[in-house]
Structure 1
Amino acid sequence: MKKVLICIDYNPTSEMVANSGYELAKSLNAEVCLLHVIADVQYYGVQYPTFMGYNGFDAEVDLNINKEMKRVAGNFLDTVKTHFKDPKVETKVLEGSTADMILEYASHWNANTIVLGTHSHSILEKIFIGDVASKVLKDTKVPVYMVPTKE
């Protein structure tokens, strides 16, 4: 059975990534796993408007508590799963370096394809903080399906 690992972050552009990845998986009759990596808890302080039915987290969450962040991320993935109306979709929340965790879990889960969004970052931003998609592409052993998210 084919397996498609859809990597989404806490950003409204994840809706495009998730939907494109899910469509790809269904066209391949593949299993689906939604993966979210918690890399920097400060990132979750951004309050976006509702996307894919997810309203965001309670503003009173203590962002220094990893257990709470895992709960918040798990709730996010469960909401995305509900968006697909597919009980067979798996979800996984990991903590660590985003690119490393994506590659490690793709190997562990035996993914045949990794789905990623491509955010537009400036050259300077890539030099200073790196780029998850670039690192995944450089080190992957399976095909990567890139979804452009630039508006």
Structure 2
Amino acid sequence: MKKVLIGMDYNPNSEKVARKGYELAKKLEAKVCLIHVLADVSYYGVNYPTFMGYEGYNEMQVDLNVISELREVAKDFIETAARHLDDPSVSTHMAEGPTSSAILDYAKEWGADLIVMGTHSHSVLEKVLMGTTASRVLEKTDIPVYMIPVKEK
């Protein structure tokens, strides 16, 4: 194993995922990349016509600068997380789109040998209706996945 990709979400519990993933990568003498995925925000800037009686999008007039600001916040988050590991060799990647697809796409592009992710506690209803990013990654990957259990307190 030469490359370990660590998935980070914007949650304080991600620190545990980053630390455990980083420790494992160092034991394997592998390169580390932290990835953060920003859900597809482009639709926030679209002014849709009224549909089904709903005029919300026309009234919102969402400023495209908001999208740019969200990208900057996400980029700052992942770069700060990497610096927190105090290892200049740790790289970062910021992606956009459906989280599981973005992780899997970048894992292949980067040539990851292992994906590290946290598993959050979700309600049964949430899992049934939405699934989880971790389960979607596990469903579709051909790259081994190391899961770090993370429970909300």
State the TM-score, normalized to the length of structure 1.
Answer: 0.81
The residue correspondences of 1:106-121 to structure 2 (distance < 5 A) are 106-121=107-122
Supply the RMSD in Å over aligned alpha carbons. Answer: 1.7
The residue matched to 1:65 in structure 2 has which SS? helix
Report the equivalent of 1:38: 38
Matched, 1:93 2:68: no
Q: Which moved more, 1:65-74 or 1:92-101?
A: 65-74
Asked if structure 1 preserves the Cα contact closer than 8 Å seen for 2:5 and 2:114, the reply is yes
**Equivalent-residue separation in structure 2 for 1:104 and 1:40 (angstroms):** 15
How far apart in 2 are the matches of 1:133 and 1:94? 16
**What one-letter code is carried by the residue in structure 1 that aligns with 2:3?**
K
Deviation for aligned residue 1:86 = 0.8
Matches of 1:76 and 1:135, distance apart in 2: 24
Cα separation, 2, equivalents of 1:84 and 1:15: 9
Letter in 2 for 1:24: L
Question: Match of 1:6?
Answer: 6
Unaligned runs of 5+ in 2: 42-62
The aligned length equals 131
Q: TM-score, normalised by structure 2?
A: 0.80
Which one has a bigger Cα radius of gyration? 2
CA distance in 2, matches of 1:118, 1:90: 22
Give the SS at the match of 2:112: coil
Q: Call closer, same or farther: CA 1:127–1:97 in 2, change over 3 Å.
A: same
List gaps (5 residues or longer) in structure 1. 42-61
1:70 Cα offset (Å): 1.5
Other-structure match for 2:141:
140
* Corresponding letter in the other structure for 1:125: E
Among all aligned residue pairs of Structure 1 and Structure 2, give the percentage whose two residues are the same amino acid.
57
Q: Does 1:105 align with 2:116?
A: no
